[in-house]
Amino acid sequence: MIPSLLLQASPAGAPNPVLNFLPLVLVFGIFYFLLLRPMQKQRKEQQQMLAGLQNGQVVVTSGGLIGTVVSLTDDTVTIRVKPDNVKLMISRSAVSGLAAQEETK
């Protein structure tokens, strides 16, 4: 004999449990495409820029210093800062980007 609880049908208007998690999945999908994916792309571009640094490039540090790359090691970058041509040794990770060089006419 089958227990009577198993024979009872669920009410016609009962929502599917998978549909209860659909909004949560949609929010996570939107969160991924609007926040996480662009951050991963930016981090990848930053790593490529740091790996491609060369002598003579003008860089901007995270502290706002603008200088020309003089020498590179695995972990550090030595930059020359104008007007007194002071050389500063900074961490490679402190370089935030390349600066546009000023063209003199």
pLDDT in tens, the chain (105 residues): 555 555 555 555 667 777 888 889 999 999 998 999 999 999 999 999 999 999 999 999 999 999 999 999 989 999 999 999 999 999 999 999 998 765 444
What pLDDT score does 20 carry?
Answer: 84
What pLDDT score does 76 carry?
Answer: 94
Provide the 10 A C-beta neighbour count for residue 19: 8
DSSP-assigned letters across all residues of 50-99: HHT--TT-EEEETTS-EEEEEEE-SSEEEEEETTTTEEEEEEGGGEEEEP
What pLDDT score does 9 carry?
Answer: 52
pTM above 0.85, yes or no: no
